[in-house]
A = this chain, B = another copy of it.
Amino acid sequence: MTQVADPSLHRVVIVGGGFGGLYAAKSLRRSPVQVTLIDRRNFHLFQPLLYQVATGSLSPADISSPLRGILSDCKNTSVLMDEVIDIDPQQQIVKMQGQNIPYDSLIVATGVSHHYFGNDHWKTTAPGLKTIEDALEMRRRIFIAFESAEKELDPVKRQAWLTFVIVGGGPTGVELAGAIADLAFKTLKKDFRSINTAAAKILLLEGMDRLLPPYPSDLSEKAAVSLTKLGVTVRTQTLVTNIEDNIATVKQGDLIEQIPARTILWAAGIKASGMGKILADCTGVVLDRVGRVRVEPDLSIAGHPNIFVIGDLANFPHQGEKPLPGIAPVAVQEGKYLAKFITEQLRGNTLPPFQYEEVGNLAVIGQNAAVADLGFVKLSGFLAWFVWSFAHIYYLIEFDNKLVVMVQWGWSYFTRNRGARLITGESTLGRIETASNGDGRSPLERKSPVEV
């Protein structure tokens, strides 16, 4: 299918195919512009459900959609799988390894990754959750932990395999903790012979004084109660000060404790993607503490009215105060705003500044509960979970008809089964340790039952 650049058309280049970039491209579908969407990956990732891949409920493809597929009907849009290495605002060119793309308007929407607060060496021990690969690595670690516990004869080491520490009590941490609790206390209960998976310890650590700090405090409280009921140990005002040799050192006030844990998952802190720095270098725009780009009321960057930053990478002061949170609805609204902004600009019109319309905050807790702050109403428990499911299915279906996810959810809701708990990757057996008693006996040869 051949399509040639019409040199008379306004050229919009979008970097990043997340919610912001994707909705900008889709919304420009009928505008007299020529759009190029550049992404390092060939798919859009539905990040809000990444924790379900990490815990074996969904497959990567269930929460991903090929960008070309989503945009195939947007005839004015080309998708390019490539990585931007520089921007030249004078020549209005985006540079990649092998080619340059000229733009008239540039939208940067490359998001954020996780941040270890200066302890980047923790990354290998305590992986974060931003990409499909991250999620598969978490999944591998979680299920290898149970497999290793099953083989371990030393009760202390076995408990370390059955201890899961989740660092960070935001939505991702809360969702991971709830899902691991579901796994250990429900899904896997009947699957092992030597261990009791219900002996698992799941610790959720949060540095602030409550879970879900951006939410209303009564929802934070409800989330903590729900998680505790599921079997999660919630510890607030608790900081991780060291991660080494499968031991997490945590500090709560003056109390310092060492927790032996083979599985430590990172759900704290964000750091802007590298595009923030590239933009700062070439335009002098100001970055905030975590590297996000401070944007003007129309989402452009100071002094460069044709370069825009949206989504998690943007620091947009909401009502002159805190930056807007890094959630999908913000990115979607910003993408749609820019599509309209550019279209109107071409007609010689101007738009009022971007204004975020609150849609609320949602976090799910295990299989039946969630907390939701919808602005006009606050929900918790099953009703919030129902709203959460509906909201996610709605978004998923809107651009890729992910009927399959609905079936998968319906099915596992009633069966409590989790079919996607595969341990994959090249060195699958690498991380499993051998039984530690050294006498070569198997757990099956033990004379007496082992209660763990």
CA distance A83 to B36 in the complex (A): 49
Whether the pair B61, A444 counts as a contact (CB closer than 8 A) is no
Residues from 72 to 125 in A contacting B, C-beta threshold 8 Å: 72-73, 78-83, 96-102
Which of A17-25, A161-169, A220-228, A412-420 contacts its partner?
Answer: A412-420
CA distance A422 to B17 in the complex (A): 14
Whether the pair B196, A1 counts as a contact (CB closer than 8 A) is yes
Which of A38-46, A288-296, A305-313, A320-328 contacts its partner?
Answer: A38-46
Whether the pair A192, B441 counts as a contact (CB closer than 8 A) is no
Whether the pair A40, B192 counts as a contact (CB closer than 8 A) is no
Whether the pair B41, A428 counts as a contact (CB closer than 8 A) is yes
CA distance A36 to B194 in the complex (A): 12
Whether the pair B4, A448 counts as a contact (CB closer than 8 A) is yes
A319 interfacial contact with B, CB 8 Å: no
**Size class of the contact patch on chain A:** 35 or more
- CB neighbours (8 Å) of A423 from chain B are 41-43, 81
The majority secondary structure among interface residues of chain A is: loop
Of B3, B99, B132, B426, the contact of A441 (CB 8 Å cutoff): B99
A435 interfacial contact with B, CB 8 Å: yes
Chain A interface (Cβ < 8 Å from any Cβ of B): 1-5, 34, 36, 40-43, 59-62, 64-66, 68-69, 72-73, 78-83, 96-102, 132-133, 143, 147, 150-151, 188-196, 400-404, 407-408, 411, 415, 417, 419-426, 428-429, 432-436, 440-451
- CB neighbours (8 Å) of A435 from chain B are 98-99
- CB neighbours (8 Å) of A147 from chain B are 42, 81
Whether the pair A133, B424 counts as a contact (CB closer than 8 A) is yes
Nearest B residue to A53 by beta-carbon distance? B61
CA distance A133 to B196 in the complex (A): 31
- CB neighbours (8 Å) of A442 from chain B are 36, 80, 99-101
Given contacts A68-B188, A191-B72, A408-B404, contact A446 B99 (CB under 8 A): no
